[in-house]
Amino acid sequence: MDEIVFKFVKPLQTYPLKSKCTCSVCPKLIRETTSHEIGLIKTTSIYLNFVSAFTTPNESLCGGNLGRDEPLDYPADYMIDDQHPSFDPETKLTHLETRYICQATRITQITKLFHRAPFIIANVENDKPCIQELADPLFVGEHEYSVSAAIKNTGDHFIAMIKSNNNQYYCFNDLDSRGCYSPNGFVTVDFAIYVLKV
């Protein structure tokens, strides 16, 4: 799905990710990347109506690579990873090596979309909800979005669920002789499509 459709439109929802390790001598003190992945989180059976990376700083374990030798004077917690894959370009083989890994807290700043994206493609593959369960509206930072559609990926075929302006749900499936119809029962989906409210 990413390869044939989403990679052309997901850059519209790109946002920066800037994080800082709380250990001042960490070799990866500041990390700056960008992402266009937005995943929705279900907590105790309901979806949050905001994307947390856009509202709260995130704390995680740093994971910075401190090298092969034990950093005995390192001021923060660290752990040993004895399954670190290392690729040898000469033999073209990967073998496992030992690495020491920073375990200090890393804080990722609140982010913001680079562009006011007209729509958002959100991944819900983990929970496979029905479109009726998705948060509506959804806030991505200061922008408000509403559910417009959702897609079920069956591997070789896609089925679209559509939410109309009068809150009716339709299923679009070109393998079904009915084409576009009101589904009986619930259809689980993998991606949600949200449209900017203007």
Cα distance between residue 102 and residue 65, in whole Å: 6
Measured from the Cβ of residue 85, the count of other Cβ atoms closer than 10 Å reads 10
Cα–Cα distance between 194 and 113 in angstroms, integer? 15
Beta strands in 53-189 (DSSP E): 58-61, 65-67, 78-88, 93-102, 105-108, 119-123, 138-140, 143-153, 158-163, 169-172, 180-181
Between 13 and 19, CB nearer to Zn ion? 19
Cβ at position 167, least distance to Zn ion in Å = 48
Instruction: Name which of 62 and 159 has its Cβ closer to Zn ion.
Output: 62
Stretch that binds Zn ion, among 45-53, 55-63, 81-89, 179-187 (CB under 5 A): 55-63
Question: Which are the contacts of 139, defined by CB distance < 8 A and separation ≥ 6?
Answer: 49, 50, 51, 54, 55, 145
Minimum CB–partner distance for residue 14 and Zn ion (Å): 25
Contacting Zn ion (CB under 5 A), which of 13, 38, 40, 64? Answer: 64
Residues in 8-47 that interact with Zn ion by CB under 5 A: 21, 23, 26
CB closer to Zn ion out of 49 and 65 = 65
Tell me the closest approach of the beta carbon of residue 113 to Zn ion, in angstroms: 27
d(CA 187, CA 163): 13
Shortest distance (Å) from residue 34 CB to Zn ion: 20
Cβ neighbours of 20 (radius 10 Å): 19
Amino acid identity of residue 124, one-letter, is V
User: Using CB under 5 A, which of 38, 51, 53, 104 touches Zn ion?
Assistant: 104
Find the shortest distance in angstroms from Cβ 28 to Zn ion. Answer: 6
Task: Check residue 62 for interaction with Zn ion (CB under 5 A).
Answer: yes
159 is an interface residue for Zn ion by CB under 5 A? no
Positions that interact with Zn ion (CB under 5 A): 21, 23, 26, 62, 64, 102, 104
